[in-house]
Structure 1
Amino acid sequence: MRKLLLSALSAAALALLPHAAAQAGKEEVVLGLSQDRVAITATFDGSEILVFGAVKRETPIPQDDPLEVVVAVSGPAPSVMVRRKEKKLGIWINVDSVLVDSAPAFYAVATSAPFKQVLTDTEDLRYRISIKRAIRSVGAAMHIRGAQAFADAVIRIREKNGLYSLRENTVAVDEQTLFRTAIEMPADLTEGSYLTRIFLTRGGKVVSSYETAIDVRKVGLEKFLYALSREQPFLYGLMSLAIAIAAGWGASAAFSLLRNR
């Protein structure tokens, strides 16, 4: 009976060896950010976030497929109602509308190689990394044809404004262990938490991922004016009017002085 028990335990241990080896050889991301908070001030004209990190592993570097890195930074994703207009009887009117329920205010993807090389379509569908997969639209009525065109319109407009971008070959990978890239963030950022995702891939498949967040907030005068406009709109209007009158009077007095010289 004892021999039978020892044999069973030995068989179980042998069965677990491949799993244990796989766990020991797993590659993991060790990430760093140059800053995890962006302050929007009255003179804010954009920011650059340096994303850097290393790969932790307990076994030699695999020699089959090279290690690739994908970095995706996405801003708050409120729903957006997109409407299509047509000209009827000389007047432009709304004819169709689709609710795009997930459209990040900012979305940037940086890769260490061409996107199709670092990630298969199946993995992209699973993790929703590409710009097109990060956008979701719902609420299209049955009679609306080409509902995807509404989401494509959001992507096209925001790409034109520099809010969406795919930056291939911009992640530097050294010795399949260290990586770094810089993500440029435009001046017209939306407040909120910006999700930063890092993916390690081999042969187009994700082998490890890591998530963190960058906090973007208004501070100083910018924060005061924004809060005042939302919480005390009447007072904000009076203050704006007073500033406009003072500016107009000051300009008039300055021109009068120059004219009398």
Structure 2
Amino acid sequence: MRALLVLITAGMLVGAAQAEEDIVLGLNQSEVSISTNFNGSEIIIFGAVKRETPIPDGPELEVVVTVSGPSKPLVVRRKEKKFGIWVNVDAVEVDRAPSFYAVATSAPLREVLNRIEDLRYKISVPRAIRSVGAPMNIMNSAAFTEALIRIRRKENQYQLIEDGVTVDQQTLFRANVQLPAALIEGDYNTRIFLTRGGKVISQYETVIDVRKVGLERWLYNLSREQSLIYGLLSLAIAIAAGWAASAAFALLRR
């Protein structure tokens, strides 16, 4: 009974210690508008650590920030060159992959977060992608996920920004995340984690709303709600553009 009481008390003390540091967060913008001339946006995430006791002794406070776009399933295909042409030979379906994902840390990721915590909170880029299984004929299914990450990193859709969070006096923090031009609409979940010694001691979540506006919004709604009219309008614009180009070329030849 005494051992049990000791364990319970120890657990209560750990919980109390973790609750001593909470996050007070701010964003320079909680909404991003996608217009016809949209070429990306920078999100500034800043905040402070609220404490009711002095800064604990031991490992320094580290901060991890993640921004995740809407997730959806997709198929990753592998191509091989056969008889002089590239053909699809294998395919793996990824159950869920964020359209955009950024991780910013106050130090190298392996130093601020251990593998168990990464597995629990799904913070790193590979952990954010959910791929349950693959066909029996696929020998190395992990290579398909790695290929997806590699491609989206080249497109700046997946980002790992180590040392991208500035922490001042273990109390104030600030991170800049660059959103690329190729964004899709939806809620972009933003998570902030405080860690010590690789373990998460506190977390906070908020949402950045990304929406099309103006002509982009009108065309998007038209394509979804009135597909026939959208198709006819696209055809008319293509014909008009072709006629205008032809007329301009004829004038230049005179």
Q: TM-score, normalised by structure 1?
A: 0.87
- Structure 1 residues 17 and 203, CA gap change in structure 2 (3 angstroms): closer
- SS of corresponding position for 1:79: strand
Shift of 1:99: 1.1
Residue correspondence of structure 1 range 149-164 to structure 2 within 5 A: 149-164=143-158
Which of residues 7, 12, 18 in structure 2 aligns to 1:19? 12
Residue correspondence of structure 1 range 163-242 to structure 2 within 5 A: 163-242=157-236
Shift of 1:36: 1.0
| Structure 2 residues without counterparts, runs of 5 or longer | none
State how far apart, in whole Å, the 2-side matches of 1:259 and 1:86 are: 47
Larger radius of gyration: 1
Shift of 1:89: 4.8
State how far apart, in whole Å, the 2-side matches of 1:140 and 1:77 are: 19
Paired residue for 1:46?
40
State how far apart, in whole Å, the 1-side matches of 2:98 and 2:11 are: 41
| Aligned amino acid, residue 224 of structure 2 | R
- SS of corresponding position for 1:156: helix
Are 2:114 and 1:117 equivalent residues in the alignment?
no
Paired residue for 2:68?
74
State how far apart, in whole Å, the 2-side matches of 1:255 and 1:93 are: 40
Q: How many correspondences in the alignment?
A: 247
Paired residue for 1:140?
134
- SS of corresponding position for 1:63: coil
Give the conservation status (yes or no) of the 8 Å contact 1:73–1:195.
yes
Shift of 1:98: 1.3
| Aligned amino acid, residue 218 of structure 2 | F
| Structure 1 residues without counterparts, runs of 5 or longer | 1-11
State how far apart, in whole Å, the 1-side matches of 2:143 and 2:118 are: 20
Q: What are the Cα deviations for residues 49-72 of structure 1, in whole angstroms up to 9, with x where unaligned?
A: 110000011000112111000000
| Aligned amino acid, residue 197 of structure 1 | R
Percent of aligned positions with the same letter in both sequences?
64
Give the conservation status (yes or no) of the 8 Å contact 1:26–1:57.
yes
Shift of 1:155: 0.4
| Aligned amino acid, residue 121 of structure 1 | R
- SS of corresponding position for 1:136: coil
Q: What are the Cα deviations for residues 185-229 of structure 1, in whole angstroms up to 9, with x where unaligned?
A: 000101111110000001111000011111111111001111212
| Aligned amino acid, residue 108 of structure 2 | P
- SS of corresponding position for 1:113: coil
Shift of 1:118: 0.6
Q: What are the Cα deviations for residues 27-58 of structure 1, in whole angstroms up to 9, with x where unaligned?
A: 01111111111111111110111100000110
164-173 vs 242-251, which moves further: 242-251
CA-atom RMSD in angstroms:
2.3
Give the conservation status (yes or no) of the 8 Å contact 1:98–1:138.
no
Shift of 1:258: 5.8
State how far apart, in whole Å, the 2-side matches of 1:68 and 1:37 are: 27
Paired residue for 2:49?
55
- Structure 1 residues 93 and 258, CA gap change in structure 2 (3 angstroms): closer
